[in-house]
């Protein structure tokens, strides 16, 4: 589904990703862990098409298409979703109208008519239950005045609405208490399927107790330096990132 | 503070004198005298033609066109191929003026107890309100032109306690070449009277010339006046509009100015708050496109205690367009307990657009609450990326942000049909296929 080959990227002329390789097959859940500043969030932003990031080299194939050749909108319509670490507030745009525009954007791409009001509202109701999203939040401005937990639940709600093929969760656990973490994780787990893949970016092992990955990768200084199964996360938790860094130097 | 003796509103005049060496526009005046006849003894040589060394005209160029010799052509909307009611579905009384002439066939006047509503030319002996020392005619050359030549417009008197059941739509249409479309609307509301007015200006694609509209309103004690003012003019007409508003005790006046289209537009609103407990509200949205110029000048003069004013202007500037906002708030020494708020926020949607924004607060009372904010920025790139990462197209995402940005101004419009038509026309002008409120309408 996703094949990243020797990806190099920079932001404001500082090289962040320095030759990253990663392959994700349908149905797989991959976790990327790493210390602060290792390039985790840069990877998420580059994959989602954020323009401030400059791709210096390498390639990314998404279901046979050149992902780097698409703009952010096209990537989303092609089935890629990024759950933001810091979801953006958009005052004056209601959550529900925002999602309607998003769903219709995708439908347009698929050659479908815009969704009917009733069908859309039924869909909203169903998907909102998945993350226990309060009905009032649907009509409020996008993320405006939402608590940290509400914002992250809203991200997963949006993911459920758009039914992506590949979902990237960028530090979705940051700022979540244990109840919110459970709700968000349950939402993600309910969406796991043989066709859908996840790339879970996290600093802590805690999230991976709830969203159990098939593979764990350790990102240090812009490269994946170690890959393994879910037990690698536990090892990292126990020994810390310095262990890996020392290991590389040695 | 004794040394801060207020000069208040005589300042423009002082500037005018300073610039007296400039031409007084005598050639144009004599041409217009011949063409239109002098309607009122307003001398135009006391105030010179504006130019950019005068503060109030610093960002507003007129040199290129003010002396174009003008012609006047009598027309009707039907002959001009224009719809008499530009707001679909709006159930309103209607006064249609084409090139400054009343179009009786297209109009629909109210027959209502306590309401005199007719074109100025049909009012008989009833007097019009006169300009006073603070009226724009005294300090502005274009307002002077209006005073000297206007002979038509709305004449409206609403008696004590009367609330008009439908809005009054005043439709100004300009067509033909070199047209001088000059109108003066004269409104007086009695005690607790209430009326909503829609001023809608259109112009044909081939139209050029000048539109000069002055609205003078005397709003009595407890009376309410709402004006939704929409400018959607094609062609190359230059539109200048003055509001000269005097508010009595506990009155409420709202003017919402939406500039959809216009090659060159200047709105000059002046509110004089003369009675305690009054509230003035001035909101505006302007979205000039390539080559367009929109200027909003406002003056709120708090003269008595315990009054409030609220001002909210939003601009989004596209292509190579220019905007001006100048918001003046005076709080005179007697106007204690004034609460005045002013906000002007602008988005430059293009690298070529420019905005000149200037809040001016002059406060001579010490127990007041006055706040203002002024911003010029660009689209929020984080919000745009967020929307695009959900599959919303770039243009649709911008339209969504635009709607959110000016939404509070549009929601303030007194007449819903006006808001819907404004949204429709803005979407048409800017090629937006997503206008996010419509998503909600059928949801």
Crossing angle of helices B381-388 and A95-109, in 10° steps, is: 50
pLDDT at B13: 46
Q: Which two tokens stand for residue B238?
A: 């230059």
Instruction: Check pLDDT > 60 for residue B18.
Output: no
Tell me the helices (H) and strands (E) count for chain B, helix number first: 7, 19
Nearest CA to B374 out of B362, B360, B363, B364 is that of B360
> For residue A221, what is the DSSP state?
T
pLDDT at B24: 62
The dihedral built from the CA positions of residue B239, B143, B154 and B281, taken in this order, carries a sign that is: positive
Question: If you measure CA to CA, which chain A residue comes closest to B436?
Answer: A97
pLDDT at B11: 42
Helix (H, G, I), strand (E, B) or coil at A161: helix
Task: In whole angstroms, give the CA distance from residue A69 to residue A88.
Answer: 25
Q: pLDDT grade, residue A2 (50/70/90)?
A: very high
Question: If you measure CA to CA, which chain B residue comes closest to A164?
Answer: B390
Mutate to test the interface with B, among A75, A102, A117, A169 (most CBs of B within 10 A): A102
Number of domains in chain A: 1
Indicate the helix (H) or strand (E) that contains B103: none
How far is residue B71 from each of residues A166, B181, B182, measured CA to CA in Å?
Answer: 67, 9, 12
pLDDT at B10: 43
How far is residue B119 from each of residues B153, B157, B184, B397, measured CA to CA in Å?
Answer: 5, 12, 10, 45
pLDDT at B202: 96
Helix (H, G, I), strand (E, B) or coil at A190: helix
pLDDT at B381: 94
List, for residues B338-360, the tens digit of each pLDDT value: 999 999 999 999 999 999 999 99
Q: pLDDT grade, residue B76 (50/70/90)?
A: confident
Instruction: Check pLDDT > 60 for residue B3.
Output: no
pLDDT at A249: 64
List, for residues B232-276, the tens digit of each pLDDT value: 999 999 999 999 999 999 999 999 999 999 999 999 999 999 999
Mutate to test the interface with A, among B285, B375, B378, B391 (most CBs of A within 10 A): B391
Instruction: Check pLDDT > 70 for residue B5.
Output: no
Task: In whole angstroms, give the CA distance from residue A245 to residue A83.
Answer: 28
Nearest CA to B186 out of B128, B246, B102 is that of B128
> For residue B9, what is the DSSP state?
G
Indicate the helix (H) or strand (E) that contains B69: none
Q: pLDDT grade, residue B69 (50/70/90)?
A: low
pLDDT at B437: 46
Nearest CA to B321 out of B291, B345, B356, B347 is that of B291
Of B374 and B5, the one with more pLDDT: B374
Task: In whole angstroms, give the CA distance from residue B132 to residue B358.
Answer: 27
List, for residues A4-28, the tens digit of each pLDDT value: 999 999 999 899 999 999 999 999 9
Q: Which two tokens stand for residue B281?
A: 């509200």
pLDDT at A20: 96
State chain A's mean pLDDT as an integer. Answer: 92
B311 in Cβ contact with B284 (< 8 Å)? no
% of chain A with per-residue pLDDT over 90: 77
Helix (H, G, I), strand (E, B) or coil at B286: strand
Q: Which two tokens stand for residue B140?
A: 């502005």
pLDDT at B21: 38
Contact A88 B385 (CB under 8 A): yes
Instruction: Check pLDDT > 90 for residue A247.
Output: no
List, for residues B99-144, the tens digit of each pLDDT value: 999 999 999 999 999 999 999 999 999 999 999 989 999 889 999 9
State chain B's mean pLDDT as an integer. Answer: 90
Instruction: Check pLDDT > 70 for residue B2.
Output: no
Q: Which two tokens stand for residue B166?
A: 């439908």
Strand partners, B215: B185, B243
Contacts of B409 (CB under 8 A, 6+ apart): B256, B258, B283, B284, B285, B312, B313, B314
How far is residue A122 from each of residues A11, A108, A150, B426, measured CA to CA in Å?
Answer: 42, 20, 21, 31
Task: In whole angstroms, give the CA distance from residue B358 to residue B328.
Answer: 8
Of A198 and B75, the one with more pLDDT: A198
A126 in Cβ contact with A157 (< 8 Å)? no
pLDDT at B23: 60
pLDDT at B225: 98
Instruction: Check pLDDT > 90 for residue B64.
Output: no
Interface of B with A in 398-427 (CB under 8 A): 400-401, 403-405, 407-408
What's the alpha-carbon Rg for chain A, to the nearest Å? Answer: 18
Write down the domain spans for chain B. 8-385
What is this model's ipTM?
0.96
Instruction: Check pLDDT > 90 for residue B383.
Output: yes
Crossing angle of helices A95-109 and A117-130, in 10° steps, is: 110
Q: Which two tokens stand for residue A211?
A: 């969203």
pLDDT at B439: 42
φ/ψ of B209, rounded to 5, equals 130, -155
**Highest mean pLDDT out of A112-121, A136-145, B266-275:** B266-275
Of B41 and B329, the one with more pLDDT: B329
Helix (H, G, I), strand (E, B) or coil at B173: strand
Q: Which two tokens stand for residue A11?
A: 């932001």
Contact B437 A97 (CB under 8 A): yes
* CA B390 from centroid of its chain's CA atoms: 39
Q: Which two tokens stand for residue B381?
A: 């790139």
- Count A/B contacts: CB-CB distance under 8 Å: 100
List, for residues B167-207, the tens digit of each pLDDT value: 999 999 999 888 889 999 999 999 999 999 999 999 999 99
Contact A88 B386 (CB under 8 A): yes
**Highest mean pLDDT out of B7-11, B306-310, B422-426:** B306-310
Mean pLDDT over B85-101 rounds to 94
Q: Which two tokens stand for residue B63?
A: 């040199």
Report the CATH number at residue A73.
Answer: 3.40.50.300
Instruction: Check pLDDT > 50 for residue B442.
Output: no
What CA dihedral angle connects B143, B148, B152 and B155, to 10 degrees? 70
Return the number of other C-beta atoms located less than 10 Å from residue A203's C-beta. Answer: 16
Mutate to test the interface with B, among A98, A125, A154, A156 (most CBs of B within 10 A): A98
């Amino acid at each position: 589904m996703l094949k990243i080959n020797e990806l190099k990227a920079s932001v404001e002329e500082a090289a962040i990703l320095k030759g990253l390789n990663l392959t994700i097959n349908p149905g797989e859940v991959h976790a990327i862990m790493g210390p602060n500043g290792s390039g985790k969030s840069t990877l998420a932003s580059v994959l989602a098409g954020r323009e401030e990031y400059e791709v210096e080299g390498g390639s990314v194939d998404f279901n046979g298409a050149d992902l780097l050749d698409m703009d952010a909108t096209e990537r989303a319509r092609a089935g890629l979703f990024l759950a933001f670490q810091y979801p953006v507030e958009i005052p004056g745009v209601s959550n529900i109208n925002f999602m309607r525009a998003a769903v219709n954007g995708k439908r347009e791409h698929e050659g479908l008519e815009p969704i009917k009001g009733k069908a859309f509202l039924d869909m909203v109701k169903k998907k909102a239950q998945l993350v226990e999203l309060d009905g009032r939040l649907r009509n409020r401005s996008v993320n405006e005045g939402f608590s940290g937990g509400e914002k992250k639940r809203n991200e997963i709600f949006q993911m459920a609405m758009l039914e992506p093929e590949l979902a990237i969760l960028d530090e979705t656990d940051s700022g979540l208490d244990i109840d919110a973490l459970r709700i968000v994780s349950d939402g993600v787990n309910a969406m796991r399927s043989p066709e859908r893949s996840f790339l879970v970016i996290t600093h802590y092992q805690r999230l991976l107790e709830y969203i159990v990955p098939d593979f764990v990768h350790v990102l240090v200084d812009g490269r994946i330096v170690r890959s393994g199964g879910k037990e690698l996360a536990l090892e990292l938790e126990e020994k810390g990132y310095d262990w890996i860094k020392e290991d590389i130097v040695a | 503070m004794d040394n801060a003796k207020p000069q208040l509103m005589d300042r423009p005049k002082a500037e005018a004198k300073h610039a007296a060496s400039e031409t007084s526009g005598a050639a144009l005046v004599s041409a217009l005298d011949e063409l239109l006849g002098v309607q009122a003894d307003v001398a135009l040589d006391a105030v010179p033609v504006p130019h950019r060394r005068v503060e109030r005209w610093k960002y507003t160029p007129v040199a290129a066109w003010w002396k174009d010799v003008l012609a006047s052509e009598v027309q009707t909307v039907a002959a001009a191929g224009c719809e008499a009611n530009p707001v679909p579905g709006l159930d309103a009384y209607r006064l249609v003026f084409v090139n400054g002439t009343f179009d009786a066939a297209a109009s629909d006047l109210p027959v209502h107890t306590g309401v005199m509503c007719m074109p100025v030319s049909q009012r008989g002996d009833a007097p019009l309100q006169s300009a006073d020392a603070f009226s724009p005619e005294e300090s502005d050359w274009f307002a002077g032109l209006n005073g000297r030549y206007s002979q038509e417009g709305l004449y409206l008197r609403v008696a004590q306690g009367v609330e008009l059941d439908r809005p009054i739509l005043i439709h100004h249409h300009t067509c033909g070449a070199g047209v001088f479309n000059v109108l003066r609307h004269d409104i007086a509301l009695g005690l607790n009277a209430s009326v909503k007015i829609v001023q809608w200006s259109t112009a044909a694609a081939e139209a050029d010339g000048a539109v000069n509209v002055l609205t003078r309103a005397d709003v009595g004690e407890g009376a309410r006046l709402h004006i939704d003012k929409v400018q959607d003019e094609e062609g190359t007409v230059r539109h200048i509009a003055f509001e000269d508003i005097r508010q009595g005790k506990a009155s409420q006046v709202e003017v919402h100015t939406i500039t959809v289209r216009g090659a060159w537009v200047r709105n000059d609103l002046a509110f004089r708050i003369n009675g305690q407990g009054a509230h003035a509200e001035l909101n505006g949205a302007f979205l000039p496109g390539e080559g367009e110029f929109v200027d909003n000048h406002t003056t709120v003069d708090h003269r008595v205690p315990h009054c409030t004013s609220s001002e909210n202007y939003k601009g989004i500037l596209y292509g190579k367009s220019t905007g001006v906002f100048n918001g003046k708030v005076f709080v005179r020494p007697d106007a204690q307990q004034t609460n005045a708020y002013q906000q002007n926020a602008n988005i430059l949607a293009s690298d070529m657009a420019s905005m000149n924004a200037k809040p001016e607060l002059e406060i001579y009372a010490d127990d007041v609450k006055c706040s203002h904010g002024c911003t010029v920025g660009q689209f929020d790139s984080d919000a745009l990326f967020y929307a695009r990462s959900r599959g919303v197209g770039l243009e649709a995402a911008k339209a969504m942000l635009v709607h959110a940005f000016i939404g509070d101004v549009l929601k303030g419009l007194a007449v819903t049909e006006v808001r819907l038509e404004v949204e429709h026309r803005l979407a048409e002008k800017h090629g937006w296929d997503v206008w996010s409120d419509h998503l909600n309408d059928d949801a």
